[in-house]
Structure 1
C-alpha cells in the first residue's frame, strides 16, 4: 500500500469518525436558505397584519407606504445581519452578535427574553392564526368557537415541534415545500387584485392619504404590525454552523429573499385594497378569507388551507432557528447545559426545541393576537437595534477584523436609529404592553448575576438543578456536542 492510499484511508476514517460523533451538520444550501427565510417571513403576518397597519395608520395610502418602508427597513436590517453572520461564524443570531460586540449581559438578556416571552408570543400568535384559518372556513359566515381555534392551534404547534425533534433534514425539506405553497397563495391573491386594478377599480385608492384620523402615537404600532409581517429575516443567522459556505450563502439568500418578499407584500396589499374597502378590511377577522370570498369565489375554499399551511411554515422556521440560539447560549455557559445537548441518534437539539413547547401552549391558551404582537415587538426590536449598534462599535474598535461582507455604514446607522426611534415612541403608544416587556426584560439582570456572573446559587439548589438536568438528559437520550463545525 503506497503513501497515497494510506492517506486516503486515513482521511476516510476521519470523515467516518466525524459523522459518527454527536454534532450539528452543514446541510443548508442556497435554495433551502432562501426557502428558510421566505418560509419564515411569509407566515401569518401578511394575512393578519394589514388590519393592524390600517387601523394604526388611518389611511390606505399611508398604510401602503408603511408596508414599503417596513420592507426597506427589514432589508437594511437583513444586510446588517449578513455582515454579522459572515463576521462571526457561530450560530446563535442575536445572542452571538451581542456577546461578541457588547458583552455577556446584553447577550444573556436576549436569551432570557427569547425564552420567557418573545418566542412563546411569536409562536402562539402564528399558531392562533393557523387555528383561525383552519376552523373559520367550517363556520363561515358565523364566528368560530374560540376554544376550538385554540385546540387546533395547539395541534399545529405540536406537529411542528415533532418534526423539528425528529430530523434536521425533514424540517428543512418541510420548509422548502411549505415555502412554495405559500408563494402560490400570494400569487393567487395578487393576480385577481391586479386584474381588477387594471380594469379601473380604483375607488378605494381615492383620497388615499387622508390623514385626519392619524395620530402620531399610533404610528409606531402600524410599523410594529408591518415589521411583524416581515419578521424572520434574521433566522438564517441562528443556524450559521449548519449553512454550507456561509460567507456566500447568507448574503445572497438574504438579498434574494427580502427583495422577493417586499415586492409580494406590497402587491398583496394593493390587491386587498382593490377588492375591499378599508371599512371591510377593518371588520374582517380573516382578511385573506374575506378577499377570497369576493374575488376568488370559485376557489375561495382553497385560500384558508393555503394560509394555514403558510402559518405552519412560519412556525416550522421559528422552531428550527430559535432553539439554536438557546443551544449556543448553553454552550457558552449562559444557559442551562441541557439546552446544549443533541439527540444521540436524531442529531437534533431536542431539549431546546422541546422545552420551548410548554410556554407556547400557555400563551396560546391565554393570549390574543394583536396584544401578543405589541407585547413581543418592543423587546425584539430593541435587541435587534442593540445588535446593529454593537456591529458599528465593533467596526470602530476592531477595524482589521475579517468581514467577508460589509454593509455600507449609512445603511447600518439608518437602520439602528430608526429602530431605536420606533422602540422609544412605542413606550408612549402602548405603555401597558411595552411596560410589561421592559419589566420582564429587567428581571433577567438579577438572574444573570446570580446564575452566571457570580454563580451564587446555594449548594442545595445546585444539587437539585443538576439532578433534574441529569434525569432529563437520560429521559431525552441526549448528549453534549462532541465536535464543532464552525
Structure 2
C-alpha cells in the first residue's frame, strides 16, 4: 500500500505517468453555437454550388428540382431527429458505428468502420477538398481550364492544413468552423438577395411552366436525391462527437432543430435565385453554377462568389475532418482498429493518430478521384448504414420502451427514414444497374477477411505491440477514457 503513490507516478512506455494516462479524455468543449456551426458548416460545402445542375439534369424541370431539394431537407431533418434520440440514449461518440455496435453487434459495426474509415470518409474529404481546389486554382487561370496537377496539389495542401489544425487544438478547429460558417452564410445571403431583387423586377421566366419535362422514373429520382443529399451531408455529424458536446441531452436536439431548417431554407432560396437568373439550359451548361450566377449579376465582382465558395468548401472539409477522425478513434477504442488510433495527445487532448491516419487516406483518395463517382459511392454506402442504424432505433423503441429517453421522436419518423433509406439503396441499382455497385458490396464484404482473424479471434502479431509503443513515444499519445 505504501508504494501506491509511487506506482501511480511511474512513467509508462510513452513517457507519461500512469495517473496522467488514466485521466486522458477528450474534453466537452462544444456548446450550442459550435454544435449548430458544426452541422450547418459541414452541410454547406461544395454541394449547393455544384449539385443544382445535376439535380436539374436528372429531374428535367426547375419545379421538380425544387421539390427534390425540399424533400432532401425534410429527410435530413427526420433522420437527424431520429439520431438525436439515439444520441441521448447512447451518449457515446461515433455516430452510426457506436449505435450499430450497441444494437446490432460487432460484425455490422466493424463493416461500417472498415468501409467508412478506409473509403467513405476520406472520399468525402477528398471530394470537398477537390471542389475547394478547383475554385481556388480557377482564379489563376481565368481564360483556360485549370491544370489537373495544380488542382490536386492544392487539394492536398488543403487536407494537410486541416490535419494540422485538428491535431493542434479542438478550440482552434471549432473557432475556424464558426468563422467559416458565418462567412459562407453571408455569401449565400448575397445570392439570395440578388435573386429576390430580380424577382421584384419581374424576372420570372425561369420559373414559368416550372414542371414541364419532369422526369418520373424510379432511377432518375433516386440519383437526383443522391445529388441533393450530397449537399445535405453532415446532418448526422454532431452524433460523432457526443462525448465532446456540453449537455448532449439538451444541445443535440436543439442544434438539429436550428441548423437543418436554416440550411434547407437557404438552399431553396439559393436555387430559386439560380433559376431566376439563368434559364434551365444555361444552368445545365454551367460548370460552376454560382460563378455563372455571379457573372450575370455581379460582373467584375464575381470574385466574391469564388472566394465564398472556397471558404465554404474549406469550412465543410474541416467539419468532415473533425468528425471523421472521431469515427476512426472510437472504432479503435472498441478494438476494431489498431490500438494506436484510439489514443489522444496527452497535452493537446486531440485524437491525433486517428486524424493523421485520416489525412493519409484522404491524400491517397485525391489521386484517382472524380466528383460524380465520389458522390454516388458515398451516398450508396452511407444510406445502407443509415438504414441499419434506424432499424436499431426502431428495435429499441419496440423492444426496450422503458429505456430512459431525455428526447423522444414519434415512431412514424424513423419509419419514414427507414423506407427512404431502402429506396435510396435500391433506386440506383434498379433504375440504372452498374457493375460498380457490385464492387461496393464486395468491398464491404471483404471486411470479413479482416474481421474473422483480427477482431473475432483477436490475432495480433507480437511486433504490433512494439510498433504501437514506438508510435506512442513519437506522437506523445496515451490511451483514453470515455467521458461520462
TM-score class normalised by the smaller sequence? over 0.9
Provide the residue aligned with 1:5 in structure 2.
none
Distance 1:207 1:271 in 2: 16
Provide the residue aligned with 2:60 in structure 1.
58
Deviation at 1:413, TM superposition (A): 0.2
Residue by residue over 1:101-153, the C-alpha shift from the partner in whole angstroms, topping out at 9 and shown as x without a partner, is 11111111110111111011101110110001111122224221121111111
Provide the residue aligned with 2:435 in structure 1.
432
Distance 1:129 1:103 in 2: 37
* Cα distance change, pair 257–430 in 1 and its aligned pair in 2 (3 A): farther
Alignment counterpart, residue 140 of structure 1, candidates 134, 139, 142: 142
Deviation at 1:362, TM superposition (A): 1.6
Residue by residue over 1:145-182, the C-alpha shift from the partner in whole angstroms, topping out at 9 and shown as x without a partner, is 12111111111111111100110111011111111011
Provide the residue aligned with 2:229 in structure 1.
227
Distance 2:367 2:357 in 1: 17
Distance 1:125 1:31 in 2: 27
Whether the 8 Å contact between 1:202 and 1:274 is mirrored in structure 2 is yes
Provide the residue aligned with 1:385 in structure 2.
387
Whether the 8 Å contact between 2:21 and 2:478 is mirrored in structure 1 is no
Provide the residue aligned with 1:9 in structure 2.
none
Name the stretch that deviates more: 390-399 or 210-219. 210-219
Whether the 8 Å contact between 1:24 and 1:242 is mirrored in structure 2 is yes
Provide the residue aligned with 1:90 in structure 2.
92
TM-score w.r.t. the length of structure 2 is 0.93
* Cα distance change, pair 338–23 in 1 and its aligned pair in 2 (3 A): same
Distance 2:247 2:294 in 1: 42
Provide the residue aligned with 1:362 in structure 2.
364
Whether the 8 Å contact between 2:215 and 2:221 is mirrored in structure 1 is no
Q: Determine if the alignment matches structure 1 residue 485 to structure 2 residue 454.
A: no
Residue by residue over 1:240-293, the C-alpha shift from the partner in whole angstroms, topping out at 9 and shown as x without a partner, is 111111100000001100010000000011111111122222222211111111
Distance 1:432 1:289 in 2: 35
Secondary structure of the corresponding residue to residue 479 of structure 1: strand
Alignment of 1:256-267 (within 5 A): 256-267=258-269
Provide the residue aligned with 2:46 in structure 1.
44
Residue by residue over 1:309-368, the C-alpha shift from the partner in whole angstroms, topping out at 9 and shown as x without a partner, is 111111111111121122111111122111110012111000000001122112212111
Q: Determine if the alignment matches structure 1 residue 165 to structure 2 residue 163.
A: no
Alignment of 1:202-241 (within 5 A): 202-211=204-213, 215-241=217-243
Secondary structure of the corresponding residue to residue 342 of structure 1: strand
Distance 1:95 1:69 in 2: 26
Q: Determine if the alignment matches structure 1 residue 463 to structure 2 residue 465.
A: no
Name the stretch that deviates more: 470-479 or 378-387. 470-479
Distance 2:181 2:332 in 1: 31
Secondary structure of the corresponding residue to residue 301 of structure 1: helix
Provide the residue aligned with 2:248 in structure 1.
246
TM-score w.r.t. the length of structure 1 is 0.93
Provide the residue aligned with 1:348 in structure 2.
350
Provide the residue aligned with 2:315 in structure 1.
313
Secondary structure of the corresponding residue to residue 224 of structure 1: helix
Whether the 8 Å contact between 2:96 and 2:385 is mirrored in structure 1 is yes
Distance 2:468 2:284 in 1: 49
Residue by residue over 1:340-399, the C-alpha shift from the partner in whole angstroms, topping out at 9 and shown as x without a partner, is 100121110000000011221122121110111001111111101110111001121211
Secondary structure of the corresponding residue to residue 138 of structure 1: coil
Whether the 8 Å contact between 1:59 and 1:211 is mirrored in structure 2 is yes
Distance 1:181 1:316 in 2: 14
Provide the residue aligned with 2:177 in structure 1.
175
Q: Determine if the alignment matches structure 1 residue 103 to structure 2 residue 101.
A: no
Distance 1:214 1:132 in 2: 33
* Cα distance change, pair 19–177 in 1 and its aligned pair in 2 (3 A): farther
Provide the residue aligned with 1:24 in structure 2.
26
How many residue pairs match? The answer is 465
Provide the residue aligned with 1:451 in structure 2.
454
Q: CA RMSD in A?
A: 1.6
Alignment counterpart, residue 421 of structure 1, candidates 411, 420, 423: 423
Distance 2:284 2:20 in 1: 56
Distance 1:432 1:141 in 2: 38
Structure 2 unmatched ranges of 5 or more = 1-18
Distance 1:371 1:339 in 2: 29
